[in-house]
Chains A and B, each alone.
Chain A
């Protein structure tokens, strides 16, 4: 009775072939079928943004996308940010600016910021712009100040590069 689909998807540069039920969300597929549990689910109705991943260069809420929709696509998750064991500049900035506490929402903010920084590489990343960006997602621990500072600092450092 299950409506199953065979798909192929690239996650963090690695090709996967699998069979998913039509109703299975991209988030559940990543977490439970492929083992990328770094992507977290905070609301499953598209508000909190904890499940944000990058789908073909766009940040999306993986709870609002079906797994089958990622057929043939490239997905980046939080597990794909670091260079091996070396934190990326953005990840390091999150630690430096105390941008996380419990860490549950953190992967979503990282992927949101990563897509933003990639989309506009020369951006000044003003506090105001980044505050507006960050308002897309919810964090219940930090009050957002550290998250904003971390993204602004990364934008500035990348601009100088």
Chain B
């Protein structure tokens, strides 16, 4: 080991991106390139009659117009193998029916992107509008129009995940029994680069080559292959530089399949670059949920029982490959979180509505379940007249409890749940937040401090993922580590970084195992022809699973290098150490050989080596862990403008524990970016529709993403409890910021209102709602 793990190694990715030499999908061009533009539904629900493309087909520059019929009605099938699941095949282009505004019914390809859009506007469609449902309540109402005939009540999944017949008695007998409804708005992942793809047929390789802005190249390959009935080997998916994903790009878009089909039919390269209006209306959303919860507490604030009815607004279809069950199953399974809940009942439903489909958004249901549990702790504290942090402490899983198996049958590996809360409280006191809050209040400004305690289950391998019973069960990843004749190292992985700095962190892991410098390690990712089948980058999985596989493979390769060195130095392989580019005999300063010399020998003088050391300096390994829990405590302070009720984030603290930190710069960046998204979910972001399902947030003037003006500096403290379930001791941490922030910010808002009866149990809390609630309560803003 040379100690690269834990070092603040500068990112290898930065240079090309700073020079403007990144290569994003929309930057790619080809001779004879055609551009795709989609014809989309203006109605939330309609029967589709005749599609007249005559004028469009004759428009200047148009090469072709495709409809569902002309493509043969291909579909993406996202499947869960459960009786309670209603499949909703997502047509690549809608046939006789559209189910949300923005659903594509045709695609025009032309020699110029402007002309393709012009022609798309000339396509005439006979629409027969139908009644639409645009909310969980409307979709669940008796007699509501159905999106899919097979789905009564528009329920696509309805699962009683846990039950306990003691609960009625517990609720009746408890000192405090609370019921409340919690809600979170629909949000857009909003990567700055929208979706994009370029597809071209390659006769030499007998392959369709697709460049896609995706988090999951292999799943794009599988989705296109299944939809177009092709063998997987005849498709190669390459993710070049990807401008953010946040879950939006961990599912397969129908537009990607349509572009593939067009390139196949026309045998010409076709590119599609999503515009922001398409992205905000017709891509994927997520995060719209309702929790109807009852919880019982004893006099000391210990939770005795928990009952939750969970509804997730899943939009019109299941997204491939995760299905619409991803939110309700996650929510119902993980609601208890970091608290010891002795009796638990949870029912999770996915409700179809006439809105764009939901995809897993950064954090997937954890932002909501943390909000629910933290609000319950605060409500119990208020009812029982206890300190809300003491109520949390009375319920948190403690150091001596690990490994802890909860009522939800999940085993939590070791974390620092109490320690992170203690440290956060101490730091808040040291930095005099309470005094600052009091000063604000004396000056007539509402101010409040909120906390959130949570864990983040990360690096779900197949042992965890198989519980969901997806037809395509993700989890493992495979790495190949090769050393070339000059001693440089090439690592391939099925994970697919898009801003997380994997080129740097994977190199640090591998460099330590091989005793080389990270500059000598090159990561190759995002190419289905280069890497073994893998599951891409989402769910805070990559450094644990992909990095774990790379570490294992590098360990095997290091063993080979030790044997070759031992044969040259007449020592035992066990006595060889690899460090700083050298293979040395431990305890003997004179016996050493440079690692590039070993590489040269292995490749160019193979005949001089024993048979088992010859030919290949490479190793392959797979990692498929059970999953590991990182944890954190967040603290937020907000100040409310008395004139406008604008809620300003004033201070933010994260005490986080992701086990072994591979690169502190990268970890801090993930935390800060995550907190920004999570805080915005509590203060700003909301995808809006009217009752007929018409989108009302189709531009960035209506959908408010956080700018620097809405954010404050984020103070970060690290604890390190290494995971035994991880190859490097690292735990995933890509989503924690987004998970904890909504609850901490909501807690701070409610604390700012503590002199009134006004409390909020939903996100986001908008200034006009706050203003109305305060004036209704007769309280000053």
**B21 cross-chain contacts in A, Cβ below 8 A:** 38, 79
* Complex Cα spacing A106 to B244, Å: 12
Distance between A142 CB and nearest chain B CB, rounded to angstroms: 5
B14 touches A100 (CB 8 A): yes
Of B158-166, B189-197, B379-387, B539-547, the segment with at least 4 beta carbons within 8 Å of chain A is B189-197
A50 touches B19 (CB 8 A): no
B1-13 CB contact bits vs A (8 Å, 1 = yes)? 0000000001101
Whether B709 is near chain A, meaning CB under 8 Å from some CB there, is: yes
B669 touches A142 (CB 8 A): yes
Of A54-62, A114-122, A143-151, the segment with at least 4 beta carbons within 8 Å of chain B is A143-151
**B701 cross-chain contacts in A, Cβ below 8 A:** 45, 47
Interface residues of A in 95-154 (CB under 8 A from B): 95-96, 98, 100-107, 110, 131-132, 134-148
B711 touches A144 (CB 8 A): yes
Question: Which of B19, B190, B668, B676 has a CB less than 8 Å from the CB of A144?
Answer: B676
B36-61 CB contact bits vs A (8 Å, 1 = yes)? 00000000000000000000000010
Whether B15 is near chain A, meaning CB under 8 Å from some CB there, is: yes
**A81 cross-chain contacts in B, Cβ below 8 A:** 18-20
**B60 cross-chain contacts in A, Cβ below 8 A:** 1
A135 touches B709 (CB 8 A): yes
**B709 cross-chain contacts in A, Cβ below 8 A:** 131-132, 135
A140 touches B708 (CB 8 A): no
A77 touches B20 (CB 8 A): yes
Question: Which of B18, B190, B708 has a CB less than 8 Å from the CB of A148?
Answer: B708
**A36 cross-chain contacts in B, Cβ below 8 A:** 20
Question: Which of A24, A45, A144 has a CB less than 8 Å from the CB of B708?
Answer: A144
B708 touches A102 (CB 8 A): no
Question: Which of A98, A106, A145 has a CB less than 8 Å from the CB of B17?
Answer: A106
Question: Which of B22, B673, B705 has a CB less than 8 Å from the CB of A142?
Answer: B673
**A102 cross-chain contacts in B, Cβ below 8 A:** 191-193, 241-244, 498-499
Question: Which of A40, A103, A137, A146 has a CB less than 8 Å from the CB of B499?
Answer: A103
When C-beta atoms are compared, the residue in chain A nearest to B213 turns out to be: A104
* Complex Cα spacing A131 to B711, Å: 9
Whether B24 is near chain A, meaning CB under 8 Å from some CB there, is: yes
Distance between B307 CB and nearest chain A CB, rounded to angstroms: 36
Distance between B453 CB and nearest chain A CB, rounded to angstroms: 21
Query: A145 with B19: in contact, given A47-B700, A50-B192, A135-B709 (CB under 8 Å)?
Result: no
B240-276 CB contact bits vs A (8 Å, 1 = yes)? 0111101000000000000000000000000001011
Whether A6 is near chain B, meaning CB under 8 Å from some CB there, is: no
Q: How many residues of B contact A (CB 8 A)?
A: 55
Question: Which of B10, B192, B674, B699 has a CB less than 8 Å from the CB of A104?
Answer: B192
* Complex Cα spacing A138 to B190, Å: 10
Whether A23 is near chain B, meaning CB under 8 Å from some CB there, is: yes
Query: A140 with B501: in contact, given A21-B114, A47-B700, A82-B19 (CB under 8 Å)?
Result: no
* Complex Cα spacing A147 to B275, Å: 26
B15 touches A87 (CB 8 A): yes
Distance between B19 CB and nearest chain A CB, rounded to angstroms: 6
A98 touches B714 (CB 8 A): no
B700 touches A95 (CB 8 A): no
**B229 cross-chain contacts in A, Cβ below 8 A:** none
B19 touches A135 (CB 8 A): no
A94 touches B18 (CB 8 A): yes
Question: Which of A28, A103, A139 has a CB less than 8 Å from the CB of B13?
Answer: A103
A43 touches B672 (CB 8 A): no
Distance between A136 CB and nearest chain B CB, rounded to angstroms: 8
When C-beta atoms are compared, the residue in chain A nearest to B60 turns out to be: A1
Distance between A38 CB and nearest chain B CB, rounded to angstroms: 2
B711-727 CB contact bits vs A (8 Å, 1 = yes)? 10110000000000000
Whether B29 is near chain A, meaning CB under 8 Å from some CB there, is: yes
B707 touches A138 (CB 8 A): yes
Chain B interface main SS type: loop
When C-beta atoms are compared, the residue in chain A nearest to B8 turns out to be: A98
B193 touches A40 (CB 8 A): yes
* Complex Cα spacing A131 to B20, Å: 23
A94 touches B276 (CB 8 A): no
Whether A91 is near chain B, meaning CB under 8 Å from some CB there, is: yes
A145 touches B192 (CB 8 A): no
**A77 cross-chain contacts in B, Cβ below 8 A:** 20
When C-beta atoms are compared, the residue in chain B nearest to A79 turns out to be: B20
* Complex Cα spacing A40 to B192, Å: 9
B18 touches A100 (CB 8 A): yes
B192 touches A95 (CB 8 A): no
A141 touches B244 (CB 8 A): yes
Chain A interface main SS type: loop
* Complex Cα spacing A36 to B20, Å: 8
Whether B26 is near chain A, meaning CB under 8 Å from some CB there, is: yes
**A135 cross-chain contacts in B, Cβ below 8 A:** 707-709
* Complex Cα spacing A101 to B667, Å: 11
**A105 cross-chain contacts in B, Cβ below 8 A:** 192, 243
* Complex Cα spacing A47 to B275, Å: 13
Interface residues of B in 167-193 (CB under 8 A from A): 190-193
* Complex Cα spacing A77 to B669, Å: 26
* Complex Cα spacing A62 to B687, Å: 27
When C-beta atoms are compared, the residue in chain B nearest to A107 turns out to be: B20
Whether B550 is near chain A, meaning CB under 8 Å from some CB there, is: no
Question: Which of B15, B18, B246, B714 has a CB less than 8 Å from the CB of A140?
Answer: B246
**B700 cross-chain contacts in A, Cβ below 8 A:** 43, 45, 47-48, 138
* Complex Cα spacing A122 to B700, Å: 34
* Complex Cα spacing A78 to B665, Å: 24
B20 touches A101 (CB 8 A): no
Distance between B133 CB and nearest chain A CB, rounded to angstroms: 30
A13-53 CB contact bits vs B (8 Å, 1 = yes)? 00000000101100010011000111111111101101000
**A50 cross-chain contacts in B, Cβ below 8 A:** 192
A40 touches B24 (CB 8 A): yes
**B114 cross-chain contacts in A, Cβ below 8 A:** 21, 23-24
The listed residue with most B CB atoms (<10 A of its CB), out of A78, A95, A98, A132, is A98
B19 touches A91 (CB 8 A): yes
A141 touches B275 (CB 8 A): no
When C-beta atoms are compared, the residue in chain A nearest to B243 turns out to be: A104
**B193 cross-chain contacts in A, Cβ below 8 A:** 40, 42, 102, 104
* Complex Cα spacing A77 to B114, Å: 23
* Complex Cα spacing A96 to B500, Å: 16
Distance between A84 CB and nearest chain B CB, rounded to angstroms: 10
When C-beta atoms are compared, the residue in chain B nearest to A96 turns out to be: B10
**B708 cross-chain contacts in A, Cβ below 8 A:** 131-132, 134-135, 144, 147-148
B275 touches A44 (CB 8 A): yes
**A37 cross-chain contacts in B, Cβ below 8 A:** 20, 24, 26-27
Could you give 19 example pairs across A and B, Cβ below 8 Å?
A31-B26, A38-B19, A40-B26, A42-B193, A42-B194, A78-B19, A79-B20, A95-B14, A98-B669, A104-B22, A104-B191, A132-B709, A135-B709, A138-B707, A140-B244, A142-B672, A142-B676, A143-B711, A145-B713
Chain B residues with a Cβ under 8 A of chain A: 10-11, 13-15, 17-22, 24, 26-27, 29, 60, 113-114, 190-194, 241-244, 246, 273, 275-276, 498-501, 665-666, 668-669, 672-677, 699-701, 705, 707-709, 711, 713-714
Q: A45-B699, A95-B15, A101-B244 are in contact. List 17 more A-B contacts (CB 8 A).
A: A31-B27, A37-B26, A48-B276, A79-B20, A87-B19, A91-B18, A94-B14, A101-B499, A101-B500, A102-B192, A102-B242, A103-B243, A104-B24, A104-B192, A104-B241, A132-B708, A132-B709
10 closest A-B pairs by beta carbon, nearest first, are A38-B20, A104-B243, A103-B17, A102-B499, A78-B20, A143-B672, A101-B499, A135-B709, A143-B676, A47-B700
